[in-house]
Structure 1
């Protein structure tokens, strides 16, 4: 099947269901609940690191998150001040160099994910975790709304022990505060290998704003995300 046709059919179906069922209303409710917790406040107020490389430049770090369709995740994290780059790709599975078409079958074990390179002097990993939990509904198992399958699972792929400990700590605290109606099902796994997605996925929202999926799914999620993180956005 032609990949362009696959994308059109995949997201035409999603857009049709979204238009009639409005399933993403729940995402907005979840975001407002977490935004009211003490844990969220702690995450967003954590002290940032001012690490400097030997050549005098600011050190960078990387976070890797899976939170449903990577078109949504990429556009949301691009909004945050301190983000250097967001790369869409695939990780967590056992198939080398998978294509988007293959990952869409749900047979590779990979999740659609984003590698997020950031400046720790401008944004902390704790703040990125806060953004991760606002960006999607982490209580949905192997799906986000009408995107269904293990490739759309909620997952944090940690790069070191500190990231692992922070992820598990905040999941526990959010569950303890009942930030969501259900328990968080986010997978916390070690980062292994990340396969960059095809070039046409980069800046997908910016390049396809008139597409139904972009208008009916990404834009509402983006608007809610920007509202929650007002004051922490690029060019504010």
Structure 2
């Protein structure tokens, strides 16, 4: 299991992000939850400061952290502050939760590549935040779009790879 790692990201409603990441090559598991906020044991009704995020478990023999971030910047709009689609507020911010210096360097490198591509109409506003406890969301949020195939999402692939 030494080849399994976890990444923590947020980019709008966690349902849509999870639905797209779950089928990516090398992704072995996804969980939706709350991260980066003020309270312990947050809930959907009470998660001040937390982003709706996802925990991605991936196999480093198949994909890399850099490739995870590349896809992240292709499936949500990283140029909007606290907004994705119809969802507004800090819960829907674009954020990468950094676990170590290597992740920070990779995130900064990928952000520069995305900005330099000029594919988006503005600069990336994704925040790099220190990893904090990831609180798993309620069960009805897990695999939500599998359980509710006609549910709302604003996430979709917009571009081919930036890398």
Q: Equivalents in 1 of 2:84, 2:150: separation in Å?
A: 21
Q: Equivalents in 1 of 2:77, 2:53: separation in Å?
A: 15
Superposed structure 1 runs of 4+ greater than 4 Å apart:
none
What SS class does the counterpart of residue 45 from structure 2 fall into?
helix
5+ residue gaps, structure 1: 1-56, 230-236
Number of the residue aligned with 2:20:
76
Which has more helix, going by share of residues? 1
Say if 1:138 and 1:186, in contact at 8 Å, map to a contact too.
yes
Q: Equivalents in 2 of 1:209, 1:177: separation in Å?
A: 33
What SS class does the counterpart of residue 114 from structure 1 fall into?
strand
Alignment of 1:92-103 (within 5 A): 92-103=36-47
What SS class does the counterpart of residue 68 from structure 2 fall into?
helix
Alignment of 1:86-97 (within 5 A): 86-97=30-41
Q: Does 1:183 align with 2:123?
A: yes
Q: Which of 1 and 2 has greater Rg?
A: 1
Q: Does 1:61 align with 2:5?
A: yes
**Aligned residue among 32, 55, 67 for 1:127:** 67
5+ residue gaps, structure 2: none
Q: Does 1:210 align with 2:154?
A: no
Q: Equivalents in 2 of 1:157, 1:68: separation in Å?
A: 14
Shift of 1:209: 1.2
What SS class does the counterpart of residue 55 from structure 2 fall into?
strand
What SS class does the counterpart of residue 200 from structure 1 fall into?
helix
Q: Equivalents in 2 of 1:177, 1:203: separation in Å?
A: 32
Shift of 1:58: 5.0
TM-score when scaled to structure 1?
Answer: 0.64
Shift of 1:169: 1.5
The two structures, once aligned, show a CA RMSD in angstroms of 1.7
TM-score when scaled to structure 2?
Answer: 0.92
Which has more strand, going by share of residues? 2
Number of the residue aligned with 1:150:
90
